[in-house]
Amino acid sequence: MVDMDDDDLLAALGVETAPLKTASRTPREERIIAGFEDILRFHQTHGRAPQHGEGRDIFERLYAVRLDQLRKLPEAPALLAALDGPGLLSGAAAATTADIDALDEDALLAELGIGEKTADPSDITVLRHVRSTAEKRAAEEIADRTPCADFDQFKPLFEQVERELKSDVRKTLRFGRDTSIASGNYFLVGGLLAYVAEVGEAIKAPNGESDARLRVIYANGTESNLLRRSLQRALYKDDTGRRLTDTDMGPLFGDAPAPEDIESGTIYVLRSLSGHPFVAEHRELIHKIGVTGGKVETRIAGASKDATYLLADVEVVATYTLHNLNRIKLENIFHRLFSAAQIDLTLEDRFGQSVKPREWFLVPLHVIDEAVERIRDGSITEVVYDPKTARLV
């Protein structure tokens, strides 16, 4: 038998052969064409372009979103010209009822009908028992919270903020008017007090807007590294979500004097010589901090008869001279800073009346020195006093 190759054998059997066609389109172009053919079939069935809207099924919404994207592709008109007999790509009717670029993820999912509750339960085109991306994201944000390894550093901050809320030094505002989130901000979200400890480098979100990864510490000892936009979204959706105001004590020093300002003043620190058991036991740590525009000696004259001075003589252990300061604001700062260490002591005055002296704190002298230096350089608002470690943190 004569040896024949494949072509000769096929020719002998009467089978015509033709050279294989070389693929002329890229995989991307094939996907574009296939996607547009789905839209064309929809148009042939319904006599119109697919549209957005809550009353439409998920496939029409998908096709409407796809058509919007095809219109934006620069290569689409030439690639699909032979197929686009109805003029879907150029038709402004196709009048979309939503600008896809302006939609966030939740709105886009709503356009696609995911999570829709009013759909006909018998409609197989509606997704059911499937969590939306928003629901998954919310669950992931909670699940991503991990124990805060250095929470001891933040616990005094939360304790201080709670005291400031109770004393109206801070207030809560509904989140929405000011949507900014910066390092050092406090929020109430999901029933928890949250502190923004760090803001990472700016990154670009899928919609083109700026975003950043945060380190958020919660009052229950956990932390999360959620995105800034995720925290904003959570605060928006939470009816109880609140922003905490800053402790704005106003400028202590300035060029223009206020009515309460004194040209030259003295911060003084006193130590009591009282024989009260508690005072005697902690004499080296218990200090009174005050501010006067006159002489300290004049201010403390008659201390042994004044409940303000624990009905005992006092000794001056430190003084600091400052200029053009606001006495009331300065005293408020000391009260805020050392409120956690204020002593709880009740005495009877000369008339047998019970009194509770204020402005006495269980604070080491070196910490008061540091606080005064921080007042001078303006960094006092960045710290709180931790009574457990006896230091500013």
Q: With b meaning 16 or more CB within 10 Å and e meaning fewer, what string describes 311-336?
A: bbebeeeeebebebbbbebbebbbbb
Do residues 235 and 241 make contact, with C-beta atoms less than 8 angstroms apart?
yes
pLDDT computed for residue 367 by the predictor: 92
Helix or strand or coil: residue 305? helix
209: left (phi over 0), alpha (psi -120 to 50) or beta: beta
pLDDT computed for residue 115 by the predictor: 43
Q: Where are the domains of the chain?
A: 27-112, 136-244, 261-392
Do residues 325 and 253 make contact, with C-beta atoms less than 8 angstroms apart?
yes
H-type alpha helices, 167-198:
none
Residue-level pLDDT, tens digit, the chain, 393 residues: 556 666 666 666 665 655 555 457 887 888 888 888 888 988 888 888 988 876 677 778 778 888 988 888 888 888 898 888 888 988 644 444 344 455 555 555 554 444 444 445 555 544 555 545 555 454 444 446 888 888 988 888 888 888 878 766 778 888 877 788 888 889 998 888 999 999 888 888 777 778 889 999 998 888 999 888 889 988 988 888 889 887 654 445 444 445 555 556 788 999 999 888 888 898 899 999 888 878 888 888 888 888 888 888 999 999 888 766 667 677 778 877 888 888 888 877 767 777 777 778 999 999 999 988 888 777 887 788 888 888 888
Q: What are 216's strand-pairing partners? A: 196, 224
Residue 285 CA from chain centroid, whole number: 38
pLDDT computed for residue 157 by the predictor: 85
pLDDT computed for residue 215 by the predictor: 92
Pairing between strand 172-174 and 242-244?
antiparallel
- Please count the helices (runs of H) and the strands (runs of E) in the chain: 12, 15
pLDDT computed for residue 16 by the predictor: 60
